[in-house]
Structure 1
Amino acid sequence: MTAEFPLTERDFARIRALIHRHAGIALGSHKREMVYSRVSRRLRQLGLPDFAGYLDLLESAEGSAECQLFINSLTTNLTSFYREEHHFPVLARLAQASRQPLAIWCAAASTGEEPYSIAMTLFEAIGERATAARILATDIDTDVLARAEAGIFRQERVGALSPERLKRFFSRGVGANAGYVKVRPELRALVRFERLNLLDASWPVKEQQDAIFCRNVMIYFDKPTQKRVLERFVPLLKPHGLLFAGHSENASLVSPCFRSAGQTVYSLAPVRAGDRA
């Protein structure tokens, strides 16, 4: 069967180079079919005849807006409420032990399930004191961020939540909105959403964090990119702050700046004498 848009080896190499340069994503050669499926949608929408012309657009001065859509097309946004559930009791204990309002950065917010799970955990752990917490939720994909900010989910997305959590933290849609739920205002108020590319020269994170959630992101980066990102986390964590990683990620293997503090939970490693300025 002839492909609608021929994808040459040169086209595929250019796509891999572009997404690595702009988003840090290291695409393996086995991702060719996935790349074709996702990027070809942009060709259809723009009425372009081939990948070469689309890539020329991305690399042109007029291609900045399209570049964001290109990035959106190739990011993976698998998420769920309380994904990797063992992290949330750790967060709850951190909140209960803190005498100050917590600052937490969720560095891959996707469609919002993760930052809202963080917010629910704080309310359950420390009650009304949670309203003073600051949760920054960022993502490189502007499409999923818009959905996260809206805080509206299909009923099946919250199906695994307990009836108590559903009643406390969500409003059920009625009429035309039947089958959907919306996060309640007090939960939504805890989270600030902002676009962020982990490769950007500067990040909108100005204060030290009690916790950084960067889960299932590093797996898409090559080792040098992982190391650079982890090293940039170091000054942004409070001395006793925690980094939460994905189940297949091991921060301590990539960077000597971190040591294991639990199941895919990391704390800052002690500064060695030879590392001091």
Structure 2
Amino acid sequence: MPSPSGENPWSIPENDRLSERDFGRIAELIGEHAGIKLPPTKRLMVEGRLRKRVRGLGHQSLADYCRFLFDGHGLTSELVHVIDAVTTNKTDFFREPTHFVALEEKIVPALLERHASPEPRIKLWSAACSNGAEVYTIAMVMAEIAARHRHLRFSVLGTDISTEMLEYAAQAIYPVAMVEPVPTALRNRYLMQGRAPSRRSEVRIVPELRNTACFARLNLMDTRYTIDRDVDVIFLRNVLIYFEKATQEAVVSRLVGHLRPGGFLILGHSESMIGSNLNLRQVAPAVFQKS
């Protein structure tokens, strides 16, 4: 039976597998630096994801790579790459679409009422943006709203722990199949079809929309975030499920500190109880407002 990485575990040499000790050390490392739990059931997945990095560096096996990491002081240069390899980056355009309906129909109107400026600027933050699909979904919705409010300006910040995903997001190039959830009218306005024969199966976000977004690396496990404290809307969806309860509450508390009064925090539907533990007012499923 193939492993989660698509490899046949019967064909893998024993020294190219993670020993119990090495897997434990990697799991502890990821837990400490990324807050992500890696139970023993994830061992084959971790092996498969690390092998590409191992081969790229010219190491003979996973065992050799782990000696380099933990006994040869390799973590100084490799920690970011280990995190990139192991972290899960699952996201889609218009995932949990009711949140984007709420953004258009409830959240932005409420924010516009509070903004005193004749030229309001709304700041939105996707705090675990992965490959950027959420950032550009937010940008599409906001661009549609801005088209009806001539003086409205907005910007979307995407942060993630994975440098590889941030580079992907900044490129803003996606397989055609991935953008199927995007409504046809928005596809026509905000996506460009590749013209070269090798690019026919890809689309790219139009420059006007890319210019509303920026990306930066941020580890949610950091005790302080170098982000403005007047953000209007923060999205953090389907990430907290990978954290321990205490970490969940600490991360959400830090995020709320970056919301302006009246700002909104949007969690994944399966994570809504986490927001209920804070001094926030729930205004829609998994959508909370700071008083």
Scaled by the length of structure 2, the TM-score of the pair is 0.85
| C-alpha contact 2:17 2:63 (8 A) present in aligned 1 | no
**SS class of match (1:118):** helix
- State whether structure 2 residue 180 is matched by structure 1 residue 159: yes
Moved more, 45-54 or 136-145: 45-54
Q: Please show how residues 102-251 of structure 1 align to structure 2 within 5 Å.
A: 102-127=122-147, 129=150, 132-176=153-197, 177-251=199-273
1:273 aligned residue = none
In structure 2, what is the Cα distance between the partners aligned to 1:220 and 1:167? Answer: 36
Counterparts in 2 of 1:168 and 1:140: CA distance versus 1, 3 Å: same
Which runs of 5 or more structure 2 residues have no equivalent in the other structure?
Answer: 1-9
- 1:43 lines up with 2:54 in the alignment: yes
How many percent identity over aligned positions? 36
Aligned pairs, how many?
A: 269
Matched, 1:14 2:25: yes
Answer yes or no: is the 8 Å Cα contact 1:101–1:129 preserved in 2: no
Shift of 1:251: 4.5
CA deviation after TM superposition for structure 1 residue 183, in Å: 0.9
User: 1:261 and 1:84 mapped to 2: Cα distance?
Assistant: 16
Instruction: Name the Cα RMSD after superposition.
Output: 2.1
Label 1:130 to 1:3 Cα distance change in 2 as closer, same or farther (>3 A).
farther
What 5-or-longer segments of structure 1 have no aligned partner?
Answer: 271-277
Q: In the aligned structure 1, how far is the partner of 2:276 from the partner of 2:62?
A: 35
Q: Note closer, same or farther for the CA distance 1:147–1:71 as it changes in structure 2 (3 Å cut).
A: same
**Is the Cα–Cα contact under 8 Å of residues 138 and 194 in structure 1 kept in the other structure?**
yes
Distance 1:111 1:227, change over 3 A: same
**Aligned with 2:56: secondary structure?**
helix
Q: Which residue of 1 aligns with 2:280?
A: 258
Given that 1:153 and 1:182 are in contact with CA atoms closer than 8 Å, whether structure 2 keeps it comes out as yes
Report deviation, 1:69.
1.1
User: TM-score under structure 1 normalisation?
Assistant: 0.89
